[in-house]
Homo-oligomer: A and B are copies of this chain.
């Protein structure tokens, strides 16, 4: 990507890198984002605080880096059922099951919140989100080819609407939506809410 500066001095330890990521993941699962502390990660990873601060300026950057790494290691493959409606429904299920499964895992919300006050972080979060959303793009392309999707529809808006709804419904309104509600939402999204 960038030409590495001519690397003087001792290079950063890849073991430390891994240990930090692993500890971050473990603690994220255990106590959630809010109660995750750099100090705790350092202890869990058997690493000095400095070693973490040298890599990431803040907790949020650390966590985001870990998530990016994880996303890179296990890329999500969008469903391909042959039907746009069913594809969307499958995505809805995926998102719900990824976002909701117990409290701590909702790291994303926390990151988004922090991003509000930290423009640089916001930029990285946006980049991360872009990657995620782009992974879903083929789904819309296929739908378009099959003539199931309005050509003028902004696929990004559609994605965000689905994901944003699940987020909002889970947290602000009731518990996580059940299968019937998911289906209803997809139907509204596909067919519109207007009377025919």
A116 CB contact (under 8 Å) in B103, B122, B164, B196? B103
A149 touching B113, Cβ below 8 Å: no
B109 touching A158, Cβ below 8 Å: no
Interface of A: prevailing SS:
helix
Q: Write the nearest CB–CB distance from A190 to chain B, whole angstroms.
A: 5
Of the listed residues A158, A171, A185, the one surrounded by the most CB atoms of chain B closer than 10 A to its CB is A171
For residues 97 through 118 of chain A, which have their beta carbon under 8 Å from a beta carbon of chain B? 103-104, 106, 108-110, 112-117
A192 touching B195, Cβ below 8 Å: no
What CA separation (Å) do A151 and B195 show in the bound complex?
8
Interface residues of A (CB under 8 A from B): 32-35, 84-85, 103-104, 106, 108-110, 112-117, 122, 125-126, 129-130, 133, 147-151, 153-154, 156-158, 160-161, 163-169, 171-174, 181, 184-185, 188-196
